């Protein structure tokens, strides 16, 4: 999940320039060392600002995983059990803050690894500092295809993620709509405030085998979608594809139903948040679908996921959201990397993350490929009256 907003473009330009300088520099051959009894894991997360809904869900998953690992004795570092110490910082959904937090976590706090940020823009901003310090970061939800790559398509050595790319999501949504929903006439209504929405829309259009009847865009903060939706209705669409975030997607769903559009509305993992139904209204949030790396329905068949879901409900008294599951997996990926390398030196942690194969995660079996992207399953969840009532696997 990526959340790059137009309001941040000036800051991003500076951050990108810094990134190019940092990525061109040599990183140290050895990373941060840890003390005798603890492994420090940094958390660079959007706990306030526009992406706080995602960041706080991920923080819950991180804290649950850490609690479980510590309760079981800690991480096995070459035969010695060491407890995790989390160092949590709020980047406020701001690229400059994310960059400065990364510098603090790597040089002052001397963490072994970082989990986060949630968004691609904040994650991109920290790359120069984590590269310079040889500290790996695992983002639970940065989905832009180029996030793990440098400008020359060379892999970023310290950048990893626990979720699939936007291209995979857009392609999967197109296949699902054509093969499962069997729709032939689709309108696309994408968020143009970020590469997240536009990237998903482009991947969808390239893959969908039916007819794209119309394609329109909206921006972050828009409230009135009636004119475009009325135009869609007049064109006798079979479905609408809405790649974006729950804030605007919820209003689009609500207004579409109010003007009599009953056709399926399909979106992306940015809709995988309980607030979607709150914004849309429970009755309106029917015949709604979205791609997701974590489906509660599919997870019931996965013992690792069942354990996670039960533990999450016991701790937080709600069903586990997608972004908590991704962050939970990210912590366990760091643990797996440390134990496989028999070292919590941050440079060794990065090497271990790159070697992960057939990791049993909450979101399914994960293998990290040569571009530091996880090869993992994808699902589509269906909402009826504001609740997830069905799920589908996409191949």
Structural domains of the chain, ranges and CATH numbers in brackets: 6-164+304-375 (3.40.50.2300), 167-292 (3.40.50.2300)
Residue partners of 62: CB distance under 8 A and separation at least 6: 43, 45, 86, 115, 327, 328, 330, 331
Q: Taking residues 241-254, what's their average pLDDT? A: 96
- ∠ CA 153-159-163, nearest 5°, is 95
Q: Which secondary structure element, helix H or strand E, spans residue 14, and what is its range?
A: helix 9-24
Residue 1 confidence class, pLDDT cut points 50, 70, 90:
low
Q: What are the backbone angles phi and psi of residue 160, rounded to the nearest 5°?
A: -135, 165
* CA distance to 72, 114, 207, per residue, from 183 (Å): 49, 42, 14
8-30: per-residue pLDDT in tens? 444 444 444 444 334 433 444 57
pLDDT at 9: 40
3 state DSSP class of 314: helix
- Classify burial at 216, counting beta carbons within 10 Å of its beta carbon; exposed 0-12, middle 13-18, buried 19 or more: middle
What does the alpha-carbon distance between residue 13 and residue 3 come to, in Å, rounded to a whole number?
15
pLDDT tens-digit map of 125-167? 999 999 999 999 999 999 889 999 998 889 999 999 999 989 9
**Which of 2-6, 18-22, 32-36, 69-73 ranks highest by mean pLDDT?**
69-73
Burial of residue 235 (CB within 10 Å: 0-12, 13-18, 19+) is exposed
295-337 pLDDT tens trace:
877 788 899 999 999 999 999 999 999 999 999 999 999 999 9
Burial-class residue 275 by CB neighbours within 10 Å (0-12, 13-18, 19+): middle
pTM, rounded to two decimals: 0.82
Using one digit for the tens of pLDDT, what is the confidence trace for 76-94? 999 999 999 999 999 999 9
| Separation between Cα atoms, residue 100 and residue 113, nearest integer Å | 16
Q: Half-sphere exposure of 165 toward its Cβ, with a 13 Å CA cutoff?
A: 20
Q: Are the C-beta atoms of residues 41 and 116 closer than 8 Å to each other? A: no
- Rounded Cα gap, residues 391 and 378, in angstroms: 10
Tell me the pLDDT band of 6, cut-offs 50, 70 and 90.
very low
- CB within 8 Å of 19: residues ≥ 6 apart: 124, 125, 127, 128
Query: Of 65, 41, 183, nearest to 116 (Cα)?
Result: 41
User: How many angstroms separate the CA atoms of 45 and 62, rounded?
Assistant: 11
């Amino acid at each position: 999940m990526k959340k790059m907003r137009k309001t941040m473009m000036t800051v991003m330009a500076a951050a990108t320039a810094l990134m190019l300088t940092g990525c061109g520099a040599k990183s140290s051959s050895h990373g941060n060392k840890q003390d005798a009894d603890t492994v420090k894991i940094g958390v660079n997360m959007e706990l306030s600002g526009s992406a706080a809904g995602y960041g706080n869900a991920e923080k819950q998953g991180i804290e649950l995983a850490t609690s479980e690992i510590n309760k079981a004795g800690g991480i096995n570092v070459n035969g010695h059990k060491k407890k995790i110490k989390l160092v949590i910082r709020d980047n406020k959904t701001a690229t400059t803050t994310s960059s400065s937090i990364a510098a603090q976590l790597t040089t002052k706090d001397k963490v072994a690894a970082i989990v986060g940020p949630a968004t691609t823009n904040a994650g991109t901003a920290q790359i120069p500092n984590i590269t310079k310090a040889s500290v790996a970061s695992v983002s639970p939800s940065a989905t832009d295809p180029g996030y793990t790559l440098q400008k020359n398509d060379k892999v970023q050595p310290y950048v990893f993620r626990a979720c699939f790319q936007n291209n995979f999501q857009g392609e999967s949504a197109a296949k699902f709509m054509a093969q499962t929903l069997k729709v032939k006439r689709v309108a696309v209504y994408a968020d143009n405030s970020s590469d997240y929405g536009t990237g998903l829309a482009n991947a969808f259009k390239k893959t969908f085998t039916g007819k794209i009847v119309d394609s329109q865009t909206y921006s972050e903060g828009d409230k009135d979608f009636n004119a475009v939706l009325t135009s869609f209705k007049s064109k006798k669409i079979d479905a609408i594809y809405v790649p974006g975030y729950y804030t605007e997607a919820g209003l689009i769903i609500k207004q579409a139903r109010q003007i009599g559009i009953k056709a399926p509305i399909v979106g992306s993992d940015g809709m995988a948040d309980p607030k979607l139904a709150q914004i849309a209204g429970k009755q309106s949030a029917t015949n709604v679908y979205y791609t997701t790396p974590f489906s509660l329905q599919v997870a019931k068949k996965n013992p690792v996921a069942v354990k996670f879901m039960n533990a999450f409900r016991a701790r937080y008294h709600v069903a586990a959201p997608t972004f908590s599951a991704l962050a939970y997996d990210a912590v366990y990926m760091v643990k797996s990397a440390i134990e496989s390398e028999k070292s919590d030196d941050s440079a060794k942690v990065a090497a271990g993350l790159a070697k992960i194969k057939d990791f049993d995660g909450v979101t399914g079996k994960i293998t990290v490929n040569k571009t530091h992207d996880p090869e993992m399953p994808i699902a589509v969840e269906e909402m009826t009256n504001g609740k997830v009532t069905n799920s589908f696997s996409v191949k």
